[in-house]
Structure 1
Amino acid sequence: MSNQEAETSIHDQAGAGDPEVANRAREVEELRAGVDNIDAAVIHMLTERFRVTRQISHLKAEAGFAPADPGRESEQVERLRSLAQDGGLDPDLAEAYLHLVADAAKRIHSRVAGGEV
């Protein structure tokens, strides 16, 4: 069985004749519903994060501050890596997240400073 077949067969297995397999498939579906809820919450949190980021962008532009703040970013990398480590999450994942959102924020800052937003 290929990985693709194993990945797509969970839903089908929920009604399988083998009760143990059907039980496990239902458990996976329930857990996936939880993951879906978490993903939705993350998107809502990112929406709020970037609402605040746009406010910061306007303040930076008005004051003539640079879009990027390397010192702040370095502090945040260390802070999020530590939080991840404490929570049992891969610190590299936390750092990748920060770079993703920081890069997006810098693009917003640059557009606001350039009068585009």
Structure 2
Amino acid sequence: MSVPVELLALREQIDALDQQLFSVLAERFKVTAQVGQLKKQHQLPAQDATREAQQLEKTAALAAQTGLDPDFAQRLQRLILDEVVAQHKLC
């Protein structure tokens, strides 16, 4: 059974978008690593609950604006924030 050409084209688009998504995410983690170093230098805590709450609120608004489910976007952002905090604790 052959796969329709349209399906193959859509899968190629998904693969390209995944590449972009992970490239942006890797870039974000490079920046947050710099934040972790600055926090260490200035003896600041690894976690900033106020900043995280602001980020999650902003995430929900951005998701709504772009047609993405805000709950899903916040769960994804929470996962990212948790990884950032874990990395900051290792600094």
TM-score range, shorter chain: over 0.9
What is the match of residue 21 of structure 1?
Answer: none
Q: Check if 1:52 corresponds to 2:31.
A: yes
> Aligned-pair distance for 1:26?
1.4
Query: Which runs of structure 1 show a deviation greater than 2 angstroms over 4 or more consecutive aligned residues?
Result: none
Give the TM-score, by structure 2 length.
Answer: 0.95
- CA distance in 2 between counterparts of 1:34 and 1:97 reads 22
Aligned length in residues: 91
> Aligned-pair distance for 1:13?
2.7
Partner AA of 1:53 in structure 2? T
Given candidates 32, 42, 53, the residue that maps to 2:21 is: 42
Q: Check if 1:29 corresponds to 2:8.
A: yes
What is the match of residue 80 of structure 1?
Answer: 59
What is the match of residue 6 of structure 1?
Answer: none
Partner AA of 1:27 in structure 2? E
Q: Which structure would you say has the larger RCO, counting Cα contacts within 8 Å and 6 or more residues apart?
A: 2
What is the match of residue 17 of structure 1?
Answer: none
> Aligned-pair distance for 1:93?
1.4
Aligned-pair Cα RMSD in Å: 0.9
- CA distance in 1 between counterparts of 2:83 and 2:13 reads 27
Larger radius of gyration: 1
Residue aligned with 1:38, SS: helix
- CA distance in 1 between counterparts of 2:72 and 2:16 reads 20
Percent identity for Structure 1 against Structure 2: 33
Give the TM-score, by structure 1 length.
Answer: 0.75
